[in-house]
A and B are shown apart, each in its own frame.
Chain A
Amino acid sequence: MTELVPALPVAVDLEAFTSLGFWTGVGILAGIYTIFALGLQVNVGFTGIFNFGQAGFMAIGAYSMAILVTDADLSFWLALPIAILITMLFALLIGLPALRLRTDYLAIATIAAAEALRLFALNARDLTGGAQGLFGFDDSWDGVSDSILNGLESLGWSNPETLFPLFLVVWGVAILLMFALTFLQKSPWGRVLRAVREDEDAARALGKNAFAYKLQSLAIAAALGAIAGFFLALNLRFIIPDEFLPIFTFLGYAVLILGGLASYFGVAAGAIVFWTLFEGLRFLELPFDEVQIRALQFIVLGLVLILLMAFRPQGMFGNRQEMVLGD
C-alpha cells in the first residue's frame, strides 16, 4: 500500500489553489447557494414542507428583475423589491393548491411547477429571450461595483479582484439574512412553524392555522430564492433557462444535508464546504482529462454525503437528538 502512494501522480497545484481570483469565484457561488438553501431550510428544516421547486423561484426572481429593467426601463433598485414581491405572489399561487398535498406529492408538484416555468422561459422568446437569454440589466450594479473597487484601492489594495465587490455584497446579504431568519425562528411565530413541522393536526387542534403558516413559509423561501437569483444573474451577467435546471435545487439539498437540518448558520457552513470540495478538486493534479474530473467531482461529493450519513447523519450543525426523535 505504501509503495503505491508515491506512484500515483497526485499533487496539488499550489499556485492556482491559492489564487484569490479563484476563491472569490468559489466564495460567490457558496454565498449564492447559502441564500438559496436558507429558503430550503425554512421549508424543510423548520416547517416540514418539501419544496423541490426552489430553482423555479430563483428563475422568477431573476427574470422578473431583468425584464423590469430591460423591457420596462425600471430602475434596477426598484426592480429588486418588485421582483421579490412577484416571486412571493407566485409562491402563494403554487402553494394554495400544492400545500394541501402531503410531503412527497408536494415535492412532485413543486418540481413540476419549477420545470414548467423553465420551459416557459425557454419558449416565451419575446419576453425572456428564449435560449439566447437576457442581458444588459446590470449597469446600475456595475456602478456600485466600481465604487467598491475604488474604495478597496484607496484602502491600499492595488488592482483588486474585479468580482470581489460581488463577493462582499453576497456574503453581507447572506449573513444579514441568517441573523434575520434566526431572529424570526426564535419568535412565537417560529415556534408555530416548528409545531407544524412536528404535527400539523396537533397545531390545528391548538388553534393554529397550519395552512397559513405553510403558505408564509413557502413565500419566504421564494423571496430567498429570488434574492439568490439576483446574485446569480449578476455573477453570470446574463440569464438563460439552463441556469435554473432542477439540479440547482438538488445541490441545494446537498448543502442543506451537509450543514445540518434546522440550523441557519449550518447552511452557510454546508455551502462553503460543498463548493470548496467541489471546485478544489480541480487542483489535484490527477491523470484525468477535464470531462473525467467533472465526473470525479460528483463521485467525491456522493462519497462525502454517504460518509456523512454513516458517521454524522445530523450534518455539521444539526442536532443529533432532534434527528433521532424525528420520524
Chain B
Amino acid sequence: MTDAPSQPVAADERRPARESNGRPIFAAEGVVKRFGGIRAVDGATMSVREGSITALIGPNGAGKTTFFNVITGFYRPDGGRATFQSKPVLWRPPYAIARLGMVRTFQITKALSRMTVLDNMMLAAPDQPGERLANVVFRPASSRRREREVREQAIELLEIFNLTPLADDYAGTLSGGQRKLLELSRALMARPQLLLLDEPMAGINPTLGRRLLDHMQRLRADEGVTFLFIEHDMEVVMNHADRVVVMAEGRVIADGEPHEVRKDQAVIDAYLGGTA
C-alpha cells in the first residue's frame, strides 16, 4: 500500500567521489505558482549541475521557499516542468519525490519532538520492509535485519555530526542548532542524490554554520551528494557555493558562478531594492 518496489541498498554503498561534471541532475522550466492574484513563482527556470553545491539566493519574498515547495510536491504547480535525473517531478506527491532521491529540509526545522534522536534518524532510512504492516507480521526477519543496518548507519552519522551523546534524548529537547544538525543528518539517512536545504544556516551561530558548510563539502566529495540550498545572506554564499542562482519576484534573474553573479547588474539592483 505504501511502498513502491525498490532494490535494497547495501549498508556500505559509497558512490565514487566526483566534482561537478556539468550535467544537470535537476532542471526546472517555467515553473509557476499563484496564490490568488499573486504570482509567487512566476516562470522560474533553472538547473542544478550534478555534484555541485548550488545556492539559491534572493531578497525576501523572491519566491525561493515557494519554489522549493513546488518542486518537492508540497504545493501544486500552476504551470511549468521540472525533472530530476530526467524523471518529471511536478505533480508527484512529496513522498514519491523523496524516494526518487530528492530530499528536502525545512526553513523552520521539523524535529519529530516526541521521538528520540535515534528514532528520528532510523525513520528516514529507505527500503525498510517493516514499514509495511503485512511485513511486520509475515516477514519479521527481513524487517529486523534491515533495522540493524539502519541503526548502524544512524549511529555512524550521529557520530559525524557530534550528536551521539543525544541519541536517546527526545528530539524536542534539542537546541536550535542541534535540530538543524539533526535535520541535515536525518535527510542524509534517506540516501539523497540531491539535497535541498531551506536556509540551513538561519538561526544558528556562525561557528556551527561553518561546520555545516564543511559537512556539505565533505558529503559532496565522499558521497557525491548534490546540494541546492536557499540562503538569504549573499556573502555567506560566495565563498562556499560553486553555482549561484538568484531569484527575485518569482523569476530567476541570474544563474552562474559566484563571481559572475556578484557583478550582475540585475542582481545588484534586486538586492539594493531596485526594480529587478
The answer, yes or no, to whether B131 is at the interface (CB within 8 Å) is: yes
Q: Give Cα distance in the complex from A194 to B93, angstroms.
A: 20
The answer, yes or no, to whether B11 is at the interface (CB within 8 Å) is: no
Which residues on the B side are within 8 Å of A235 (C-beta)?
none
The answer, yes or no, to whether B51 is at the interface (CB within 8 Å) is: no
B270 to chain A, nearest CB (A): 29
Q: Which of B74, B123, B128 contacts A195 (CB 8 A)?
A: B123
Are A188 and B130 in contact (CB-based, < 8 A)? yes
Q: Which bucket holds chain A's interface residue count?
A: 20 to 34
Are A201 and B136 in contact (CB-based, < 8 A)? no
Chain A, Cβ-Cβ closest to B170? A325
* Stretch of B34-42, B98-106, B221-229, B240-248 contacting A (4+ beta carbons < 8 Å): B98-106
Are A321 and B170 in contact (CB-based, < 8 A)? yes
A112 to chain B, nearest CB (A): 27
The answer, yes or no, to whether B110 is at the interface (CB within 8 Å) is: yes
* Stretch of B80-88, B114-122, B206-214, B250-258 contacting A (4+ beta carbons < 8 Å): B114-122
Are B113 and A208 in contact (CB-based, < 8 A)? no
Q: Which of B113, B119, B132, B190 contacts A191 (CB 8 A)?
A: B119
Q: Which of B2, B106, B114 contacts A325 (CB 8 A)?
A: B114
Most chain B CB within 10 A, of A198, A213, A321, is at: A198
Most chain B CB within 10 A, of A188, A198, A327, is at: A188
Chain B, Cβ-Cβ closest to A321? B170
Are B172 and A325 in contact (CB-based, < 8 A)? yes
Q: Give Cα distance in the complex from A133 to B103, angstroms.
A: 55
The answer, yes or no, to whether A202 is at the interface (CB within 8 Å) is: yes
Are B113 and A207 in contact (CB-based, < 8 A)? no
Q: Give Cα distance in the complex from A84 to B173, angstroms.
A: 41
Are B110 and A201 in contact (CB-based, < 8 A)? yes
Are A322 and B114 in contact (CB-based, < 8 A)? yes
Per the 8 Å Cβ criterion, residues 130-150 of A in contact with B are none
Q: Which of B119, B124, B130, B190 contacts A189 (CB 8 A)?
A: B130
Q: Give Cα distance in the complex from A212 to B2, angstroms.
A: 6
If A189-B131, A321-B170 touch, does A194 touch B106 (CB 8 Å cutoff)? no
Are B132 and A189 in contact (CB-based, < 8 A)? yes
Which residues on the B side are within 8 Å of A201 (C-beta)?
74, 94, 106, 110
Are A325 and B123 in contact (CB-based, < 8 A)? no
Are A204 and B131 in contact (CB-based, < 8 A)? no
The answer, yes or no, to whether B126 is at the interface (CB within 8 Å) is: yes
Which residues on the B side are within 8 Å of A325 (C-beta)?
113-114, 170, 172-173
Binary B-proximity of A187-218 (CB < 8 A = 1, otherwise 0): 11101101101110111111111101100100
Most chain A CB within 10 A, of B74, B114, B131, B136, is at: B114
Which residues on the B side are within 8 Å of A210 (C-beta)?
95
The answer, yes or no, to whether A326 is at the interface (CB within 8 Å) is: yes
The answer, yes or no, to whether A124 is at the interface (CB within 8 Å) is: no
Which residues on the B side are within 8 Å of A273 (C-beta)?
none
Are B170 and A208 in contact (CB-based, < 8 A)? no
Are A206 and B190 in contact (CB-based, < 8 A)? yes
B21 to chain A, nearest CB (A): 26
The answer, yes or no, to whether B236 is at the interface (CB within 8 Å) is: no
Q: Which of A184, A191, A206, A322 contacts B170 (CB 8 A)?
A: A322
The answer, yes or no, to whether B65 is at the interface (CB within 8 Å) is: no
Which residues on the B side are within 8 Å of A191 (C-beta)?
115, 119, 122-123, 131
Q: Give Cα distance in the complex from A151 to B51, angstroms.
A: 74
Per the 8 Å Cβ criterion, residues 159-214 of B in contact with A are 170, 172-173, 186-187, 190
Chain B, Cβ-Cβ closest to A220? B133
Chain B, Cβ-Cβ closest to A207? B98
Q: Which of B73, B104, B115 contacts A194 (CB 8 A)?
A: B115
The answer, yes or no, to whether B143 is at the interface (CB within 8 Å) is: yes
If A187-B136, A188-B128 touch, does A206 touch B186 (CB 8 Å cutoff)? yes
Which residues on the A side are within 8 Å of B112 (C-beta)?
194-195, 198-199, 202-203
Which residues on the A side are within 8 Å of B119 (C-beta)?
191, 194
Are B74 and A208 in contact (CB-based, < 8 A)? no
Q: Give Cα distance in the complex from A175 to B115, angstroms.
A: 26
Binary B-proximity of A215-228 (CB < 8 A = 1, otherwise 0): 01000000000000
Chain B, Cβ-Cβ closest to A319? B114
Most chain B CB within 10 A, of A187, A202, A207, A262, is at: A207
B5 to chain A, nearest CB (A): 14
Q: Give Cα distance in the complex from A199 to B122, angstroms.
A: 16
The answer, yes or no, to whether B72 is at the interface (CB within 8 Å) is: yes
Binary A-proximity of B245-275 (CB < 8 A = 1, otherwise 0): 0000000000000000000000000000000
Binary B-proximity of A293-327 (CB < 8 A = 1, otherwise 0): 00000000000000000000000000001100111
B15 to chain A, nearest CB (A): 19
**20 A-B pairs whose Cβ atoms sit less than 8 Å apart in the complex:** A191-B115, A191-B123, A192-B131, A194-B112, A194-B114, A195-B112, A199-B110, A201-B110, A202-B106, A204-B73, A204-B98, A205-B110, A206-B95, A207-B98, A207-B99, A207-B126, A208-B123, A209-B2, A212-B2, A213-B2
Q: What 7 A-B pairs come out closest when comparing CB atoms?
A: A325-B172, A188-B130, A207-B98, A202-B110, A198-B112, A204-B94, A187-B136
8 new A-B contacts, CB < 8 A, other than A205-B106, A207-B98, A208-B131, are A188-B130, A194-B115, A201-B74, A204-B74, A205-B110, A206-B123, A207-B124, A321-B170
